[in-house]
């Protein structure tokens, strides 16, 4: 016959002195394992006398319940001490740790921030303008005539059916950041100098140099007697700071409806060490704000012949992807959006 009070006492002592994962496991095997005491006691039932059977059955059951409960309690207590489930292998505290992989800002965000920083140091203020625009702000207010090809549904993402009765209030995804000029001038009186960075959208088929979404940075400065020489000085200094002091640039006459006169700025390809085939690369559009744009924004007395002491303005706009591609020698615009870490972590 089994001495149950003694066996239960022994089990309590064994479990009380178990203080790590392996000694707990040894206790479990000793009592509950296949060859442990509890199965052995149950086995002995078959040869026990009928009057002993209830005592033996109850004793074996009590022992199983007690050991199970104590094991559970002990495992939990050990886990809390070690900060997790007790592990069978000892922890090697001298092993070097595994540091978390640090991310960083996307190369386009870096480029956009860098462009804005240069102008902020010259006194410009960065402002945001919405990506959903009215047809008026995106085109009409910028002196872009109703029959201009860029207003075609093939070149702009319209959000609603183009209803002529809406008088320019049709909504669209802005196709450039220039509508930010209209908003700033509507809300603020001159003098002002702002930089407007952000996403723009055009329904272009994607290839190495086109994407339906890309980024631009717009600039607008309005003050008394702003001259074309101010525009040249400002953008020359920007190019030197962004591309380096050795950059060569040229202002090539161009046409934009919202500036008059207008120009495109090219930089010489020789700073890129023969990686590009063309001798000059176009980087931005610019010009003196067309008086018609001032008029549409509600600025008084700015149209007509310019006189000394009158407010005039300069504006420019550049593509962020293009600036980053030139600066870092990136050949395909799609790399910016694929989010392949092998590409991104180079910058």
133 belongs to the binding site for ligand DAH (CB under 6 A):
no
The nearest distance, CB 315 to ligand DAH, in angstroms, is 4
Residue 37 or 221 with smaller CB distance to ligand DAH:
221
The nearest distance, CB 143 to ligand DAH, in angstroms, is 11
285 belongs to the binding site for ligand DAH (CB under 6 A):
yes
287 belongs to the binding site for ligand DAH (CB under 6 A):
yes
The nearest distance, CB 212 to ligand DAH, in angstroms, is 15
The nearest distance, CB 290 to ligand DAH, in angstroms, is 9
The nearest distance, CB 238 to ligand DAH, in angstroms, is 14
Q: What is the dihedral of CA 288, 292, 295, 300, to 10 degrees?
A: 60
286 belongs to the binding site for ligand DAH (CB under 6 A):
yes
Contact of 104 with 38, CB cutoff 8 Å: no
Residue 31 or 316 with smaller CB distance to ligand DAH:
316
259 belongs to the binding site for ligand DAH (CB under 6 A):
yes
Count residues binding ligand DAH (CB under 6 A): 12
256 belongs to the binding site for ligand DAH (CB under 6 A):
yes
Residue 72 or 212 with smaller CB distance to ligand DAH:
212
176 belongs to the binding site for ligand DAH (CB under 6 A):
yes
266 belongs to the binding site for ligand DAH (CB under 6 A):
no
Of 51-59, 153-161, 310-318, 328-336, which part binds ligand DAH (CB under 6 A)? Answer: 310-318
Number of neighbouring beta carbons within 10 Å of residue 37? 19
The nearest distance, CB 181 to ligand DAH, in angstroms, is 7
Which residues are registered as beta bridge partners of 172? Answer: 133, 158
The nearest distance, CB 308 to ligand DAH, in angstroms, is 23
138 belongs to the binding site for ligand DAH (CB under 6 A):
no
218 belongs to the binding site for ligand DAH (CB under 6 A):
yes
Q: Which residues bind ligand DAH (CB under 6 A)?
A: 176, 178, 218, 256, 259, 262, 285-287, 315-317
């Amino acid at each position: 016959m089994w001495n149950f009070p003694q066996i239960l006492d022994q089990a309590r002592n064994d479990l009380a002195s178990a203080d790590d994962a392996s000694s707990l496991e040894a206790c479990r095997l000793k009592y509950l394992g296949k060859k442990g005491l509890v199965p052995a006691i149950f086995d002995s039932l078959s040869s026990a006398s009928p009057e002993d059977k209830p005592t033996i059955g109850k004793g074996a059951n009590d022992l199983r319940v007690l050991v199970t409960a104590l094991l559970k309690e002990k495992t939990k207590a050990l886990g809390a001490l070690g900060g997790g489930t007790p592990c069978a292998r000892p922890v090697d505290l001298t092993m070097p740790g595994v540091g978390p992989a640090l991310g960083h800002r996307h190369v386009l965000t870096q480029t956009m921030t860098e462009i804005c920083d240069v102008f902020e140091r010259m006194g410009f203020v960065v402002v945001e303008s919405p990506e959903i625009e009215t047809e008026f702000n995106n085109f009409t207010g910028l002196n872009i005539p109703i029959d201009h090809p860029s207003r075609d549904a093939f070149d702009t993402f319209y959000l609603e059916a183009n209803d002529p009765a809406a008088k320019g209030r049709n909504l669209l995804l802005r196709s450039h950041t220039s509508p930010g000029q209209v908003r700033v001038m509507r809300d603020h009186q001159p003098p002002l100098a702002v930089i407007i960075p952000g996403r723009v959208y055009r329904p272009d088929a994607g290839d190495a140099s086109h994407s339906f979404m890309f980024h631009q940075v717009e600039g607008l400065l309005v003050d008394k007697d702003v001259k074309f020489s101010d525009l040249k000085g400002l953008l020359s200094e920007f190019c030197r700071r962004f591309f380096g002091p050795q950059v060569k640039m040229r202002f090539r006459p161009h046409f934009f409806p919202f500036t008059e006169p207008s120009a495109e700025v090219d930089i010489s390809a020789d700073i890129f060490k023969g990686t590009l085939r063309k001798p000059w690369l176009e980087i931005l559009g610019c010009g003196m704000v067309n008086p018609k744009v001032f008029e549409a924004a509600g600025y008084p007395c700015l149209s007509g012949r310019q006189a000394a002491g009158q407010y005039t303005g300069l504006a420019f706009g550049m593509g962020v992807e293009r600036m980053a591609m030139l600066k870092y020698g990136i050949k395909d615009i799609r790399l910016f959006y694929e989010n392949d870490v092998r590409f991104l972590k180079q910058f």
